[in-house]
Amino acid sequence: ELEKPSFCDLKVVNNTEHYVAFKVKTTSPKKYFVRPNTGVVQPWDSSVIRVTLQAPREYPPDMQCKDKFLLQSTIVPPNTDVDDLPADTFNKESTKEIQECKLKVFYVTPSSRGNSEDEGFKSYSDQAPDSNSAVQQLKDERDAAVRQTLQLQQELDFLKRRRHRRNDTGFSLKFALIVGLIGIMVGLLLNFSFSSSLSSPAAVPTVETTTS
């Protein structure tokens, strides 16, 4: 929309057991506001990146856009914070493996926003001959990530139930020990009381005899 900023959210999913750092670059940094443009995603976690287009004063010719985005990612040591990333983290000349994902920008009018995803996918398919295989690969990776997430959730639920059962067993053992100690103490008190009653002096009857 004219005179109004527009935004789009990108969700970065880390479906590995490693810490992964990412960085977002664009061919038109003065037009877009990206936050966060750099970050670290923990294993099996995700991060949302908001890309904001500054308020345009006029519509581009034929609603065409040549702007592109580049998303770079690489594995970093565990427990790495975004402030601890070295300056050469995303340097291709380093020994690290840098993965890249290129994204094209498509403009849509507010009236056609409901079909923006279909239009963008159709335009991208027309321009990229290998897009179908790439999209299929992304779908397969997404399905694999969903299956892994479900499996992890099931394992977590199993561990929670197992831990709950252990707590119940521990409680039963504690309860039995307390009852046993109380029984022992009661037995000792009864024994002590019985022993005291036996050791106390008893009255001895006297017999008087008379002689005639």
What is the residue-level pLDDT of the chain in tens, covering all 212 positions? Answer: 888 998 999 999 999 999 999 999 999 999 999 999 999 999 999 999 999 999 988 888 888 889 999 999 999 999 999 999 998 899 887 778 999 999 999 888 777 655 555 555 454 445 444 556 666 666 677 777 667 667 777 777 777 777 766 655 555 666 667 767 777 777 777 766 656 655 555 444 444 544 44
- Are 10 and 64 a contacting pair, CB within 8 Å? no
pLDDT at position 203, please?
46
pLDDT at position 92, please?
82
Q: Are strands 32-35 and 68-76 parallel, antiparallel or unpaired?
A: unpaired
**Quick one: tokens of 88?**
């050469």
For helices 131-199 and 116-127, angle between their N-to-C axes, nearest 10 degrees: 130
pLDDT at position 109, please?
76
CA distances from 194 to 53, 104, 191 (A): 92, 94, 5
- What would the DSSP string read from start to end of 61-91? GGG----EEEEEEEEE-TT--GGG--TTTT-
Judged on CB neighbours under 10 Å (0-12, 13-18, 19+), 20 is buried
pLDDT at position 211, please?
47
pLDDT at position 199, please?
56
pLDDT at position 207, please?
47
Q: Are strands 68-76 and 38-41 parallel, antiparallel or unpaired?
A: unpaired
pLDDT at position 69, please?
96
Q: Are strands 68-76 and 19-26 parallel, antiparallel or unpaired?
A: antiparallel
Is the whole model's pTM more than 0.85, yes or no? no
